[in-house]
Structure 1
Amino acid sequence: MATSAKLEFAVQMTCQACVDAVTKALEEKDGVKSVDVSLDRGIVIVETTMPSDAVKSTIESTGRLAVLLGMGGSNQSQWGAAVAAMNVGSERSKGVVRMVQTSDETCVFEGTIDGLPPGRHALCVHEMGDISKGCSSCGEVLGAGLSEKAKGMLSELDVGKDGRAMFRLDNTDLKVWDLIGRSVIVHQGTDPNASNRLVCGIIARSSGLFQNSKRLCACDGVSIWEERDKPLAGDGRTNYPFRN
């Protein structure tokens, strides 16, 4: 059974009707365990096994904008969270991979990557976060050569004609605190090697639950609502993370 996590969203809500609409849309989804909405603070907390982008899309289907602020374990303990912006090595393939330690044992990996070629592709954690030579300088798959299956081999992404991979998986071999400063790479095909690295990103610390109160991005001073509309993928799809 998939491990649930809590996701914290800032949501544009102005009245009780907004609260009711968001709550109803979320509670109708399989995989949603609980919904806690604060109209005064404009915050929605969702405990779920769904990918965060799927939850965001559900909220926005009610006509309200939503931005992911933080993630954490279902019991609200702060084991740690991290994020990799997948924007190196490809002009077309862009996206985000998020990691949250939901317990001492389980790290949840989830994300959305657009602009990938159709087919099955390997998603891997690599030893280093060195992108000085693009994805080629990120080292080997984490744990390669130490076991029959390297622990950095996370999953195979099944990409359709739309070029989008949306995924969520539980991992008991890796911990968030051991991943900071490493990298995530999508390899073309299911056999990762040095010549088939499609897109990569450095793993950096991210906000856990209730750790991100920002409403202006420190990078450029725009509001979180303006930030979410900035294109990240080459096909014009909007930005996934709120940059801390």
Structure 2
Amino acid sequence: MRERPPFKTLFAVPLHCEGCINSVKNALSRVEGILNVNCYLEQQLIEVEGTAAPSKISASLRETGKDCILRGSGSPNSAAVCILEAHAPNLENTVRGLARLVEVGPDFTIVDISLKGLKPGIYQASIQQNGDISRGAASTGGVWEEDTRGNEARGKLGQVQVSNEGSGSIILDASIAIWELIGRSMVISPSAELLHQDDEATLVGVIARSAGVWENDKIVCSCSGKTVWEERVEQTGKGML
């Protein structure tokens, strides 16, 4: 396994005073892989450098009692995100997972997957050939490069263990570049062979490019007029992690 190079991640966090900053720094000091933390009180931003996955940093920040919003990861054109949803009919809060992807070196991408609201068990994570999710996983074209590489297909990412509480997470290192993934889809399925378009245990989403560090300075959405924190409340209400 290759050594993971350090990269930067930027979070918006409600910071009101130096006490908030000290609380955040103390929490992050206990996260393995974090090398440096810079806090910007006026902008209410925290920049973290190291090898720790974004989900680990987010969880540590929330343990302080503060919410956080990821505003960027890695260098320009090196990050992507995938919102994972169930496509079975008549479901509420279909969002069941989130995958964050950060390219930290040549053909070296971290895949950070978090799931919730699923039945316990082992789930297969894979990159699919295309981004057509009109019929759920059934229209995504199969596993990326499976036909040409067989069991070595780069699209087969690995397995995620979902606990009895319905949550699961995994952090994978993949020999993939971000540009190869944009517009494809990701599928999380309880079966590596059969993908069912109406199976509520199968999740699917399109991989989209996301901002690098300091590339996203949006405070208010130009479409809705809502602040990023108002959008955050709305998203969490829909099941977003």
| Percent of aligned positions that are identical | 29
Q: TM-score, normalised by structure 2?
A: 0.87
Query: Given the alignment, which residue of 84, 95, 102 partners 2:82?
Result: 84
Q: Could you say what secondary structure the match of 2:202 adopts?
A: strand
Given the alignment of the two structures, is residue 53 of structure 1 paired with residue 60 of structure 2, yes or no?
Answer: no
Structure with more of its chain in helix, by fraction: 2
Name the amino acid aligned to 1:169: L
Tell me how far 1:218 sits from its aligned partner: 4.1
Tell me how far 1:88 sits from its aligned partner: 4.3
The more displaced of 39-48 and 124-133 is 39-48
Q: Could you say what secondary structure the match of 1:47 adopts?
A: strand
CA contact (8 A) 1:81 1:207 kept: yes
Given the alignment of the two structures, is residue 151 of structure 1 paired with residue 149 of structure 2, yes or no?
Answer: no
Query: Given the alignment, which residue of 207, 214, 225 partners 1:210?
Result: 214
Tell me how far 1:62 sits from its aligned partner: 2.1
For 1:204 and 1:49, how far apart are their aligned partners in 2?
A: 22
Q: Could you say what secondary structure the match of 2:43 adopts?
A: coil
Cα–Cα, structure 1 residues 159 and 80, in superposed 2: closer, same or farther, change >3 Å?
Answer: same
Query: Given the alignment, which residue of 95, 100, 107 partners 2:102?
Result: 100
Q: TM-score, normalised by structure 1?
A: 0.86
Runs of 5+ in structure 2 lacking a partner? none
Given the alignment of the two structures, is residue 168 of structure 1 paired with residue 168 of structure 2, yes or no?
Answer: no
* Residue matched to 1:22: 24
Given the alignment of the two structures, is residue 192 of structure 1 paired with residue 190 of structure 2, yes or no?
Answer: no
Tell me how far 1:108 sits from its aligned partner: 0.9
For 1:237 and 1:21, how far apart are their aligned partners in 2?
A: 29
* Residue matched to 1:226: 230
For 1:194 and 1:64, how far apart are their aligned partners in 2?
A: 38
- Over aligned residue pairs, what C-alpha RMSD do you find? 2.1
Q: Could you say what secondary structure the match of 1:102 adopts?
A: strand
Tell me how far 1:163 sits from its aligned partner: 1.3
